[in-house]
């Protein structure tokens, strides 16, 4: 409203002496009137300029106060609705969707009554807002700030309560602990004693991590400080998340509780950093999923799905084959610069299937499973050289990179996940089954060889030429062949069990032929040597689990006591050469008689090596294979039995 139009509102109400005392008196200026008598009744024209200015200031302050009360004080929304939008409150509500008839009005509740009630509510809200505005204006600034803080805290508590009731966006889920989350004590006292020793090793590793590196990714046990790898970007707590399920199955309840509390309060994925999609998936997503399935703690499900959602932009490539590296804040991905012209790596993009299927299962969001099923579509459209899968695939062109095939590093867990996807589906994933057994047939034909000394090994294939080298990572394949034996085509079950046993023997020889009885990173079968590392950069041992993993599978599937004996030899070697005051460390040269430690306690030592040893000396009822599969970081995930969905639906 223009300022000039405001003044008559006040001037018209003024009578004689309204501003200057009695009529006719007037110090200072009654000369505005006609003749020498008293001044005329005051009007807008009778005010001095300064008086008009004062009036304008007073009225402006009043208007400011009113609008401040409306917009900035508590319950302002109610005041706005009452003052400015009261006409809307009198409008009849819209008809219900679907053309359903409206409920009949209550007696005495016709339009007039409804309008009157609305006006009463508006008036009451208006008066209450004005009272609160007046009370607020009387408060000191410190009191106002305190009230604001209290209101914020209340909102945060309400939000936290809603999260505890069920993670936002996640469906309600009735938790049913799968079979075998807890097992019986071993019946044999000697086995029980050995298992107790492995639990003590876990406690030594965990307690030192807690003492010297709590909340960081890994431990440097010699330096007694934290160690961090760029694989995880700025995400922290890899050892905590990796160890959750090991703590649970070993019944280390206090340690599990403190790990859970750390996850709840400190595990943060809102970081501006580039991470390895593969490593974060198998360690963090896998660790959180298994912790949820074992314990039922909702925080693990929520965190797993939250992290899974942050990994989805990695699939934004022309083919849907994900990038190896992803900035989880910006969503920008890329591949390792050394990987065959910017290719994605088979073992990395092929090792997402188990976790992403479970993310869809727990979140109700099919996008996770759709992403990994698309990877299969891309692979099935491609020709495979000799039926083999090269380690490199370009995510833009959808074509293979260089033809390098390995069942060890760069390829290993792709094959593992084909088999386990079929098993995890309760043997309904026929596509995964066919891909696995076709691949095994090609591997047997082109890669598996026997040395002159009778040791079976898996060579690497480079453009049609074999490199007679086998990595420690490849030793997982013994357990894989045995695990898949039951579904092998053409009555080859016994053959696959035997193949697993031969790989286990070769890998045991690689341990037994070192000074420390621990296996090297890679060993060769050429130049007159067998199962021995010949290059200095292949002689190290970084607490890897793959050989012990195969021992565990072979024990479960055959109950041949030699596998427990071989596992105990590994325990003795770990205790003698890798145990230090501050935890467990890798070794730089397993052929040397004197230890040279690398000063890193890898998170997978707690997640895989010690878990597989513990299971090797446990009864078969702990995490039985009919009900669980292990991801490539040894995190147990339940088999999704065909009748699980119906059971959940019925229990709801």
According to the 3-state scheme, what is the secondary structure of 91-131?
A: CCCCCCHHHCCCCCCCCCCCHHHHHHHHHHHHHHHHHHHHH
Nearest to 392 by CA among 405, 382, 380: 405
Burial class (CB in 10 A: 0-12, 13-18, 19+), 214: middle
Cβ contact 209:219 at 8 Å? yes
What residues have CB less than 8 Å from 286, skipping those under 6 apart? 354, 355, 631, 633, 635, 637
The Cα 459–Cα 524 span in angstroms is: 9
How far is Cα 35 from Cα 32, in angstroms, rounded to an integer? 9
**What single string gives the DSSP state of each residue in 29-75?**
TGGGSSSSSPPPPP-GGGS-HHHHHHHHHHHHHHHHHHHHHHHHSTT
Active-site residue, from 274, 460, 521, 530? 521
User: What is the number of residues in the chain?
Assistant: 652
- To the query of whether residue 521 is one of the catalytic residues in this protein, the response is yes
Q: Which of 482, 488, 484, 518 is nearest to 503 (CA)?
A: 482
The 10 Å Cβ neighbour count of residue 175 is 12
577 phi/psi in degrees, rounded to 5: -110, -25
* Best CA proximity match to 544, nearest among 596, 483, 484, 613: 613
Residues with catalytic annotation?
Answer: 521
């Amino acid at each position: 409203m223009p300022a000039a139009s405001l003044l008559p509102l006040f001037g018209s109400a003024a009578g004689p002496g309204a501003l200057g005392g009695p009529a006719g008196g007037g110090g200072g200026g009654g000369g505005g009137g006609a003749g020498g008598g008293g001044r005329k009744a005051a009007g807008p024209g009778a005010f001095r300029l300064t008086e008009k200015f004062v009036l304008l200031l007073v009225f402006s302050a009043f208007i400011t106060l009113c609008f401040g009360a409306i917009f900035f004080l508590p319950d302002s929304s109610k005041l706005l609705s009452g003052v400015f939008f009261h006409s809307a409150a009198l409008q009849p509500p819209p008809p219900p969707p679907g053309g359903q008839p409206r409920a009949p009005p209550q007696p005495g509740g016709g339009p007039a009554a409804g309008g009157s009630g609305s006006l009463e509510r508006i008036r009451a809200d208006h008066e209450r807002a004005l009272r609160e505005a007046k009370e607020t204006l009387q408060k000191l600034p410190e009191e106002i700030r305190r009230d604001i803080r209290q209101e914020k805290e209340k909102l945060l508590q309400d939000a936290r309560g809603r999260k505890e009731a069920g993670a936002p966006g996640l469906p309600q889920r009735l938790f049913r602990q799968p079979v075998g989350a807890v097992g019986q004590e071993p019946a044999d006292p000697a086995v029980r004693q050995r298992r107790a020793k492995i639990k003590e090793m876990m406690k030594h590793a965990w307690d030192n991590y807690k003492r010297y590196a709590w909340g960081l990714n890994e431990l440097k046990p010699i330096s007694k400080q934290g160690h961090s790898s760029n694989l995880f970007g700025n995400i922290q707590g890899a050892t905590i998340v990796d160890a959750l399920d090991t703590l649970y199955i070993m019944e280390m309840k206090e340690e599990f509780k403190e790990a859970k509390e750390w996850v709840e309060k400190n595990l943060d994925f809102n970081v501006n950093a580039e991470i390895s999609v593969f490593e974060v998936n198998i360690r963090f997503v896998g660790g959180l999923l298994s912790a949820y399935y074992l314990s039922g703690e909702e925080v693990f499900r929520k965190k797993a799905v939250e992290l899974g959602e942050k990994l989805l932009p990695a699939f934004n490539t022309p083919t849907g084959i994900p990038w190896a590296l992803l900035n989880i804040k910006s969503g920008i991905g890329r591949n390792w610069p050394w990987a065959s012209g910017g290719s994605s790596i088979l073992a990395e993009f092929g090792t997402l299937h188990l976790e992403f299927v479970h993310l869809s299962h727990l979140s109700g969001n099919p996008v996770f499973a759709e992403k990994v099923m698309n990877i299969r579509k891309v692979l099935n459209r491609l020709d495979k050289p000799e039926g083999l899968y090269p380690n490199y695939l370009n995510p833009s062109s959808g074509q293979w990179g260089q033809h390098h095939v390995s069942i060890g590093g760069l390829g290993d867990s792709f094959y593992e996940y084909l088999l386990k996807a079929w098993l995890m589906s309760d043997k309904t994933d026929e596509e995964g089954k066919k891909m696995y057994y076709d691949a095994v047939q090609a591997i047997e034909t082109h890669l598996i060889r026997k040395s002159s000394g009778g040791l079976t090994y898996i060579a690497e294939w480079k453009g049609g030429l074999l490199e007679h080298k086998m990595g420690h990572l490849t030793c997982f394949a013994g357990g894989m062949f045995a695990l898949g034996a039951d579904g092998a085509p053409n009555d080859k079950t016994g053959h696959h069990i035997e193949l697993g046993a031969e790989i286990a023997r070769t890998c045991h020889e690689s341990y037994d032929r070192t000074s420390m009885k621990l296996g090297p990173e890679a060993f060769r079968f050429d130049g007159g040597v067998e199962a021995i590392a010949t290059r200095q950069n292949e002689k190290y041992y970084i607490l890897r689990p793959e050989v012990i993993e195969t021992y565990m599978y072979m024990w479960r599937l055959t109950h041949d006591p030699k596998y427990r004996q071989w596992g105990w030899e590994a325990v003795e070697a770990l205790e003698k050469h890798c145990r230090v005051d501050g935890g467990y460390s890798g070794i730089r040269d397993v052929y040397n008689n004197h230890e040279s430690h690398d000063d890193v306690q890898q998170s997978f030592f707690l997640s895989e090596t010690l878990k597989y040893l513990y299971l090797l000396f446990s009864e078969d009822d702990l995490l039985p294979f009919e009900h669980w599969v292990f991801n490539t970081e040894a995190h147990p995930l339940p088999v999704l039995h065909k009748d699980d969905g119906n059971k959940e639906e019925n229990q709801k």
